[in-house]
């Protein structure tokens, strides 16, 4: 019998003031290694609730909510990737991650991967290893973007249309999220995911994120950031653990095979059937693999 996927979020809240706003984070477990779990759009540390318990026995586990998401404050900012990077940088400084040589394992998904890989490229001496799943890479043209979501994401980037669908109709939370999980997402789980975005004015990050995707050279600064961390990722010999599913979303089976072959010191794990939010379909497999990988290779 497969293990239950818990809907409740059992962790005590922690808050850190960053740029006059509070950022929420989970902080559990202990060990010489600190595993930092970074989420993307439109999720939060809640995404990692069933993964973290498997890792907390061998590592300190920190899972922040990006600014404007989860339980973090929602300041009146543009929510560009540069904004998220600045808030995250200051949070990491306050948590002492920049002072810890080779002690941080980054567990990365979606926009958390872009932000985490950018940070890791600039602070490689702090990083012990990388865990990757459904991570963001550049799309040189729209034809390189996944066909299943191409028209929808073009609409999200169309002035007027995108804001109506995401800000007014909350489409990212109500449609894309549950459609990107294989199993049915329960009412309790959807309540957690909806909670940060009950008011349209709080949905600004969920609209900005698809408009920040590095597609066909735009936005230029995000495209350049992704180009830099992609080059670094292929060159670095830091240990890596890479999860992928079938059919995948951002990472197709073909793309997964290429990364499994071309990333140095990389263990690739096929989780089975999975779309984008593979942590909601295979959290125990992912958590056990991360815990065993850290215990075997990094401690």
43: tokens are 């999720």
How many Cα atoms within 13 Å fall on the side-chain side of residue 216? 8
Q: Please measure the distance between the N-terminal and C-terminal CA atoms of the chain and give it in whole angstroms.
A: 31
175 and 151 in contact (C-beta within 8 Å)? no
**Peptide bond preceding 42 in cis form (omega within 30 of 0):** yes
Beta-sheet strands, E only, within the chain:
14-18, 21-28, 34-38, 60-64, 104-110, 127-135, 240-247, 266-274
Q: Is 110 a catalytic residue?
A: yes
Q: Which of 276, 281, 282, 289 is catalytic?
A: 276
Q: Is 281 a catalytic residue?
A: no
Q: Which of 83, 89, 134, 189 is catalytic?
A: 134
DSSP, residue by residue, 37-85: EE--TT--GGGGTTTHHHHTTTSEEEEEPPTTSTTS---SS---HHHHH
Backbone angles phi, psi at 279, to 5 degrees: -65, -25
Residue 268: other Cβ atoms inside 10 A: 16
Q: Is 39 a catalytic residue?
A: no
118 and 225 in contact (C-beta within 8 Å)? yes
Helix, strand, or coil (residue 15): strand
> What residues are labeled active site?
110, 134, 276
């Amino acid at each position: 019998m497969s293990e239950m996927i818990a809907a409740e979020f059992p962790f005590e809240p922690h808050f850190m003031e960053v740029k006059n706003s509070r950022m929420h984070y989970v902080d559990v477990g202990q060990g010489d290694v600190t595993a930092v779990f970074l989420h993307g759009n439109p999720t939060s540390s809640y995404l990692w609730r069933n993964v973290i318990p498997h890792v907390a026995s061998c590592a300190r586990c920190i899972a922040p909510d990006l600014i404007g998401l989860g339980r973090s404050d929602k300041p009146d900012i543009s929510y560009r990737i540069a904004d998220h990077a600045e808030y995250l940088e200051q949070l990491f400084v306050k948590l002492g991650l920049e002072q810890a040589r080779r002690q941080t394992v980054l567990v990365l998904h979606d926009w958390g991967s872009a932000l985490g890989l950018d940070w890791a490229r600039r602070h490689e001496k702090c990083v012990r290893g990388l865990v990757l799943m459904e991570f963001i890479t550049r799309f040189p043209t729209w034809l390189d973007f996944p066909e299943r979501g191409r028209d929808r994401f073009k609409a999200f980037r169309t002035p007027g249309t995108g804001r109506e669908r995401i800000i007014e109709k909350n489409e990212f939370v109500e449609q894309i999220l549950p459609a990107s999980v294989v199993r049915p997402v329960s009412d309790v789980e959807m309540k957690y995911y909806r909670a940060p975005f009950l008011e349209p004015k709080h949905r600004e990050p969920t609209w900005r994120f698809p408009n920040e995707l590095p597609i066909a050279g735009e936005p230029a600064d995000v495209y350049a950031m992704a180009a830099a961390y992609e080059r670094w990722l292929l060159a670095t010999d830091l240990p890596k653990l890479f999860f992928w599913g079938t059919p995948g979303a951002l990472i197709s089976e073909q793309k997964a095979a290429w990364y499994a072959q071309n990333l140095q010191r990389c263990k690739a794990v096929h989780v089975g059937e999975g779309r984008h939010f593979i942590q909601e379909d295979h959290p125990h497999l992912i958590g056990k693999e991360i815990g065993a990988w850290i215990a075997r290779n990094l401690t």
